[in-house]
Each structure stands twice: as C-alpha cells, then as structure tokens.
Chains A and B, each alone.
Chain A
Amino acid sequence: MSDVAQASKVAGARPVADGLFTWPDNPKLLASSCNSCGTTTFPTQSSCPRCTGSDMREVTLATRGRLWTWTIQGFEPKPPYAGPAPFEPYGVGYVELAADADGASPVLVESRLSESTPERLVIGAEMDLEIVPFRTDDDGTEIVTFSFRPAGGA
C-alpha cells in the first residue's frame, strides 16, 4: 500500500472524478449495492440493472482482487482521452473485487493496470489497488486516478 499512501500525500492532488474512490485517506473504490438482490455496481448508481430496484446503498470495495481479463492499450486513444504525453502503452483489465458489506455480491471492475508487460499479466493473479498520478491540470493541480498492479510486485 506504499504507493497509495504516497499518492495521498501529493499536496492538493485531486481525483479524476468525484465519487470513484474515497480520498485522500485510505482510498477504496466506491460502489453501490442493491438492497433487494445484492448486485454491486461500479461506480455508484441509483438503480439496479438486475432487478430494477432503486434501493441502493453505498459500499466500498476490497483493495485486493483477482485479474479476470486484461489487454494492453497499444495506441494513443482519441479525445476525450487526456493521458500523459508522450503516450506510453498501458494495461487495462477487469479485477474481481469483494464488497466490504454483508450481502453485497462481488463485482468485476474495469481499471487501468500499472503493468503493461504481457508476461506479467496473468488471469486469476492477485492485484492491488493503487491511486496513481495521471496528469497535471492546467492550473498545476495533480490529477490522480485508480489503477491495479500485480500483488507483491516491486
């Protein structure tokens, strides 16, 4: 969790969007869980696409989960992509995460991956959440986003 702690300390750093993860202390992804059927969505939403219910509560997600699938983004996306220049390929994947709440189902969350070497991305391997610098805003504010890296990595 050292990187999470490190990014949290970046003075005045701001998440890329509100409501994606708790910030700045003890960052965890924020999700909704349906009180009727237990379906968990990321990010939060006000109704349930499984049972059409609208009784949702906010929950946090585990910071460690397993990689469900992955790819590597090999070319620079068009706008609205606003990543750092020059472009460097980055990993993208779905990570299965448990919800920190009774009765809430796990959820597969799509995320940037901090690893972009194919050999180091393994379906089923444990991954850890980290909050990483993404870009610097026009006013100099550091913008951070969520990402996952192989657990136990350097």
Chain B
Amino acid sequence: MDVAIVGIGMHPFGRHPGVSGLEQGAYAVRQALADAGIGWSEVECAFGGSASAGNADSLVSNLGLTGVPFVNVYNGCATGGSALAMADRAIRSGDYDLTLALGFDKHARGAFNANPESAGIGRWYGETGLMLTTQFFGMKIQRYLHDHGLPADILAKVAAKAFRNGSLNENAWRRKPLSEEEILAAPMLSNPLTQYMFCNPGEGAVALILASADKATRYTSHPVYLKSVSFKTRRFGSFEVFSPWLSPERAPGPTVEAAAAAFEAAGIGPEDIDVAQIQDTESGAEIMHMAETGLCKDGDQEALLRSGATEIGGKMPINTDGGCLANGEPIGASGLRQVYENVLQLRGAAGARQVPGQPKTAFTHVYGAPGISACTVMSV
C-alpha cells in the first residue's frame, strides 16, 4: 500500500514564552487535521515525540480521548524521522488508513548541555571542556575542508543563503538576511565556524497526516506521495559527536547508508531530485551532507555554491525554508519541518520561496546525535 501525506500543520519555530512544547504540538495537530479536512477521531494511529518537552501521547487530554493508539517516540535527533517511519509503516502494512506523525520541542537557551555520564563517558570529559557539539562540528568540517581542498569562506555562503531563504518564510525564527561579510565577522565559536554559522536550540512543532494512497484524494486535491523513509545508525569508524577516541579506520557516516536506502526504495536517484532539505546544524553540515546524500561529489560544493546552484532558483535548491540555521532546532520537530516544507514545495504552495518549474520530487535528510540519520523521498 503506497502512502500519501494529506495534511500538514506547523506551530511557528522560534521562542514562545508561556507556550509549552505540548501546546505547540497540539496546535500543529489541529492545523494538520484542518488541512486534511478531518476530525481527531478519524486518526487511527499516532506516533510522536520530543526530546525535552514531554510525552506526545499525553496530548489526547488536549485533543480528545478517542481511544487512539498513540506511541511515544524518544529517539534523539531522529525522533521526528522515526515517528514518520512508523506512521508510514502502519499504513504500508495494511493495518491502518489514516495515521499521524508528530514532532515538537522546547529547549533552553544556548548550546545543548551535555552530560558525560549519560553518554557513558567519564566526568573528566565534560570537566576538561571536550564535550561540546560545537567543537565536534568545527573539527569535522575542518578535516573535511582539508581533505577536499575546499576554502572556509564557502561556510558563509551557506549561512547567507539560509537567512535569505528564512526571510521569505513566515514560520521561520531568524528572518533577517545577513551578508557573508557579517557572518564571517561574527565571533568565532569553534574554528572555522562563527556564531552565525550555527543553528540554535529552539521551539516549534510539526504534524503530518498520512493516508493510504488509494484514499488520498478524499482528503486533499494535492496528495504528496511518500516514496520511501529510511533510518540508519552509525557504523564503526564513523566520525560522531562525543568521541574521546576515533579509529584511524574511517567509515562513511550514517547519512550515506540512509540516503542510499531511501533512493533505492524510491526507485529514483539523487540526480532526479528537484528540491532537497538537508541537515544544516551548522554551515559545514550542509556542505558535507550534500555529498553524503549523493546530491553532489566530495569537493564539488564550492563550484555549486559559487554558481548559485543551491539557491531557490538554482538547479539543486537546498533548504528552501532556511533550514535549521534560520528555523532553529527543536530536536523532535526538526526532521518533520523538512517534510512540511517539501509538501508545500510539491503542492506549489510555498509562496515567495516557491521553487520555480513545478518541482515533482523532493528529498529530506536529518542527521544528529549519536550518529543517526533518517531520509525520505517524496513525489507528486
């Protein structure tokens, strides 16, 4: 049974004092129900979660006690992707016709606070200042630029694009365009990455209503088909966050396998994709993930960025909604934000940031701690 996305809802990303993560989740669900033209009681099965804003299943107190089986997902940066994968499988298996995938979150200000003991590492690691996600990103892109002969200034190009696209997105958090000069002149947080090259933990929620494809037109005149969802974790030799040591025997990151599996299941390749949303926790991540997902070869990013290929009007538009850089990263919601954006793009409903030429295919990619990746391929 093929799967279609028939309803989408979003609570704007950013900071919302006085509004809990769960309330933002409920808001997104109501939006998605309205978009699909259905009531909450029609949802047959639900999957959702957050990293730090509570259990999704408690939302029935807000939305209605309908007896719906509601599964909590708690899977780090893959929370949204995992919820979507299960909501997708629930239909593909033939068990259900109408399911919900939900992701929401609300984080404190500043860099994510890491606890060495909960990661199975000695306290000394945090005490001596080695346990920061920002350092990991700096070191990973430093090595990548070295290996592939890429200049550090392309990092500013990625960030400038994100804020430019974010300025066209009414649901984005950072809506002020910044020049490459301003981005390069910002405080250096973790060489070669400056302050404006990093996304911030934030708040927000996204809900998606999925239906079996043969019933999709009951709910929407613009069904978007979920061709594949894949989810992988790291292998030995992958360079991941919070690693006191690494093997000199290097292995590709989980993105490579997740993307390849998503494309294989969808029956199309990266060259067939019209618009892509890929994980840009910081500028370097977008550059590395362009190659890991197969959208380009290692080292080709400089030419692509300088020629404008990844802009909304380019031949390979990436992160058309401003990505994590402009939207912030509510961990549970982030992956589903990408799917939401692709649905808008494939419906032709993305307004000022609409990719021209009626895109037919789209791709999403999340990556995060502790070495996980989830990808989707969508089409109309």
Contact = CB atoms under 8 A, between A and B. Distances in A.
Interface of A: 16-17, 20, 31, 39-43, 49-50, 68-75, 77-83, 90, 92-94, 96, 105-112, 118, 123, 134, 145
A74 B187 contact: yes
A74 B191 CA distance: 8
Given A71-B138, A73-B135, A112 B128 contact: yes
B143 A69 contact: yes
A23 to B, nearest CB: 13
Contacts of A16: 124, 127-128
B146 interface: yes
Contact of B129 (A39, A83, A96, A105): A83
B139 A73 contact: no
Interface stretch (B108-116, B156-164, B216-224, B341-349): B108-116
B236 to A, nearest CB: 5
Contacts of A90: 129
B190 interface: yes
B246 A108 contact: yes
Interface in B78-121: 110-111, 113, 115-116
Given A70-B139, A109-B244, A109-B245, 9 more contacts: A20-B124, A42-B245, A43-B122, A71-B192, A83-B128, A94-B139, A105-B247, A105-B249, A134-B128
Contacts of B244: 42-43, 109-110
Nearest to A145: B128
Given A82-B127, A105-B248, A73 B111 contact: no
Interface residues on B, range: 35 or more
B140 interface: yes
B interface: dominant SS: loop
A108 B124 CA distance: 18
A123 B143 contact: yes
A78 B113 contact: yes
B126 A81 contact: yes
A82 B193 CA distance: 24
A74 B248 contact: no
A34 B122 CA distance: 20
B123 interface: yes
B233 interface: no
B139 to A, nearest CB: 5
B240 to A, nearest CB: 12
B189 A74 contact: yes
B237 to A, nearest CB: 8
